[in-house]
């Protein structure tokens, strides 16, 4: 096996609950259960909407997870099913079976209060899981992220869990092209920080943009134009 070369200066993070690290992980002796649980947390973190869920087929089609299970003496699919059964029994994750058009799909969610409520509503027919397609495969590898995350990491700095959440919230409020352009604008002005990018986005949201481009006025070359007046409180020098 090729020696690990160390972590790069810029990289992404997946939040792991401290309760999992301190309470559950010490009791997990099966490495396939641990790997599967960690991959599920990563996949759910990168998803949008609520509640966040992942299907068995998505897990089976995740190359990073399946490659990590190849060291098992069993076929990857069987190892995955057994790992999921252990995680369900431990109550780390929730299991739900959805039937549609004569087919069924195993769905997994993190065991949180909101997801427990969602599962109860789904079972009662009060709620439908958004975007779940029976038998569907993953459209992309789990390590592929929306372009704004890569753009931020490559041009602004380390993508911490807090910044990742800020970007996810921004995706809900603004067009992707706005976020991309705001990052580029921050770089052009030498203001490589999220607070400046957020100020740009809120400014555009309130003041508007001209045909999708930056507004043309006498302040266009002023790097402090987004930290003056109403939005100044959002940016710390």
Q: How many residues does the chain have?
A: 237
Does residue 31 lie in a domain region?
yes
CATH classification of the domain holding 46: 1.10.10.10
Q: Decide if 168 is inside a domain.
A: yes
Residue 135 falls inside a structural domain: no
Give me the pLDDT at residue 221, please.
46
Whichever domain contains 229, its CATH number is: 1.10.10
Residue 85 lies in a domain: yes
Predicted pLDDT at 154: 81
Q: What is the pTM of this model?
A: 0.59
Q: Look up the domain containing 225 and give its range.
A: 147-234
- Mean pLDDT of residues grouped by 10 in the chain (237 residues)? 80 87 95 95 85 91 90 87 96 89 86 92 80 47 58 83 86 87 90 91 81 44 50 47
Report the pLDDT value the prediction gives residue 1, as an integer from 0 to 100.
66
Asked if residue 196 belongs to a domain, the reply is yes
Please check whether residue 134 lies inside any domain of the structure: no
Q: How many domains does the chain have?
A: 2
Give the position of tokens 């706005």: 178
Contacts with 41 (C-beta within 8 Å, 6 or more apart), sequence order: 14, 15, 16, 20, 110
């Amino acid at each position: 096996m090729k020696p690990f070369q160390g972590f790069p200066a810029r990289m992404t993070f997946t939040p792991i609950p401290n309760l999992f690290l301190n309470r559950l992980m010490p009791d997990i002796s099966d490495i396939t259960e641990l790997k599967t649980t960690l991959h599920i947390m990563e996949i759910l973190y990168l998803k949008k909407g609520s509640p966040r869920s992942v299907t068995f087929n998505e897990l089976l089609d995740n190359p990073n997870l399946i490659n990590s299970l190849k060291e098992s003496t069993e076929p990857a699919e069987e190892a995955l099913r057994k790992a999921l059964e252990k995680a369900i029994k431990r109550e780390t994750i929730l299991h739900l079976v959805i039937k549609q058009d004569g087919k069924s799909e195993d769905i997994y969610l993190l065991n949180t209060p909101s997801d427990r409520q969602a599962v109860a509503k789904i079972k009662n027919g009060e709620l439908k899981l958004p975007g779940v397609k029976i038998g569907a495969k993953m459209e992309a590898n789990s390590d592929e992220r929306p372009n704004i995350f890569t753009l931020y990491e490559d041009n602004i700095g380390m993508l911490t869990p807090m910044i990742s959440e800020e970007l996810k919230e921004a995706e809900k409020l603004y067009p992707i092209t706005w976020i991309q352009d705001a990052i580029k604008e921050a770089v052009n002005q030498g203001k490589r920080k999220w607070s400046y990018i957020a100020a740009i986005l809120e400014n555009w949201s309130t003041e508007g943009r001209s045909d999708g481009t930056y507004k043309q006025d006498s302040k266009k070359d002023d790097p402090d134009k987004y930290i003056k007046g109403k939005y100044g409180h959002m940016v710390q020098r």
